[in-house]
Amino acid sequence: MAKIICVLYDDPVDGYPTSYARDGIPEILKYPDGQTAPTPKAMDFKPGELLGSVSGELGLRKFLEAEGHTLVVTSDKDGENSTLDQELFDAEIVISQPFWPAYMTAERFARAPKLKLIITAGIGSDHTDLQAAMEHGVTVAEVTYSNSNSVAEHVAMMILGLVRNYIPSYDWVIKEGWNIADCVARSYDVEGMHVGTVAAGRIGLRVLRLMKPFGLHLHYLDRHRLPEAIEQELNLTYHDNLKSLTEACDIVTLNCPLHPQTEHMVNAETLKHFKRGAYLINTARGKLCDRDAIVSALESGQLAGYAGDVWFPQPAPRNHPWRTMPHHGMTPHISGTSLSAQTRYAAGTREILECYFSGQPIRQEYLIVEGGKLAGVGAHSYSPGNATGGSEEAARFKK
């Protein structure tokens, strides 16, 4: 029987919900490209419940314990003697979410000789040292597409929020003001602007489709060029390098995976090629950007605004400069963990576990590493190597 460690974020400060704002969520059976939503044999939760926090347990306990397995659920993942580190020695499976990631470093692989499977409940497996996973023969899987549209909606919200100066205007209401001039001094229309996505996969392409009705000019950069029919449908301009994209766009949104080739792709040098007063949206991974370069660009006016919900490490230390830099619209990493998304990625996590325990193949679209090499969607989206360096700073959040 297997031991499974599930690392999840803490419950709400007022306790686990006893009721919800809505009575349910729409049922999603297929995604826009035809991929089916997760299809586990059963689900021990009601769609729309809070599943991503500790008490939610991704709805897995009944299923796993009925099969004789041991489930350890914790939010304690960082620093010396964390619960995660204490439990790793005999763990066969580690599950975590990108929003509160269990950073599976080479050191943790060395302390987990029985480890066979790492699952990301959601999308994005950069918090695992993929090179170490390949070397140790550990399978890495994620619930691809489960929360892609959730993230894309968050991007659209943040674009409008930054350009229309929504958050400072809301703040004037809270302060009992009616300061219209203060509100509109940094407010513009998005109509007629040029917006570009770095990567036009499931999230990036969805963002472009969502923004098209606003009358923007659409651009994209991707190592895999889109079919000509899609380019014509959306009137897309293709760019084969970051400099070309950023020189053309008023709004840039990052929607690519983090791996060694994309780490710190937005830095002091590349920011020089952005239009002055451009807006940058990052709901992909915080480490795509150089932290201090973003702060400097906002302070100098090179960037008019920066919004996103991804940081590095996660959780971000309490003194992280992105909490206090000017003209930002940051949130904790929530874009992909709406209650709607949680239903799908919890169901997908169970589907992966059902396949693993029954000896059935895991869907190719869920695989990142298998058999000592990048596999499935991982071979399409990632490069060999490790992007977890510096993740030990997540322990500073506690202090």
> Which tens digits make up the pLDDT trace of 167-223?
999 999 999 999 999 999 999 999 999 999 999 999 999 999 999 999 999 999 999
User: Catalytic pick from 69, 108, 259, 285?
Assistant: 285
Among all chains, which residue has been given the structure tokens 């920066």? 306
pTM for this prediction:
0.95
Q: Is the pLDDT of residue 94 over 70?
A: yes
Token duo for residue 291 = 């932290």
For residue 300, count other CB atoms closer than 10 A to its CB. Answer: 10
Q: Which secondary-structure segment (H or E) carries 230?
A: helix 228-234
Mean per-residue pLDDT, 59-83: 96
Mean per-residue pLDDT, 152-174: 97
Residue 55 φ/ψ, nearest 5 degrees: -70, -20
User: Catalytic pick from 97, 149, 282, 314?
Assistant: 314
Q: pLDDT band for 262, please (50, 70, 90 cuts).
A: very high
Assign domain 3-146+337-375 to a CATH class. Answer: alpha beta
User: Catalytic pick from 202, 333, 344, 350?
Assistant: 333
Active site residue 342: no
For residue 36, count other CB atoms closer than 10 A to its CB. Answer: 12
Q: Rounded to an integer, what distance in angstroms lies between the CA atom of residue 34 and that of residue 37?
A: 9
Q: pLDDT band for 399, please (50, 70, 90 cuts).
A: low
> Which tens digits make up the pLDDT trace of 221-233?
999 999 999 999 9
Q: Is the pLDDT of residue 90 over 70?
A: yes
Buried b (16+ CB within 10 A) or exposed e, 357-390: beeeebbebbbbbbeeebbbbbeebbeeebbbee
Q: pLDDT band for 80, please (50, 70, 90 cuts).
A: confident
Q: Is the pLDDT of residue 106 over 90?
A: yes
Active site residue 285: yes
> Which tens digits make up the pLDDT trace of 129-140?
999 999 999 999
pLDDT at 391: 85
pLDDT at 311: 96
Residue ranges of the domains in the chain? 3-146+337-375, 148-323
| Domain 148-323 of CATH type 3.40.50.720 | yes
pLDDT at 188: 98
pLDDT at 332: 97
pLDDT at 221: 98
| Cα 306–Cα 309–Cα 314 angle in degrees, nearest 5 | 120
Q: pLDDT band for 387, please (50, 70, 90 cuts).
A: confident
How far, CA to CA in Å, does 272 sit from each of 241, 302, 303? 14, 8, 10
Active site residue 314: yes
Active site residue 363: no
* E strands present in 283-342: 303-308
User: Catalytic pick from 97, 131, 147, 282?
Assistant: 147
Q: Do domains 3-146+337-375 and 148-323 have the same CATH topology?
A: yes
Q: Is the pLDDT of residue 394 over 90?
A: no
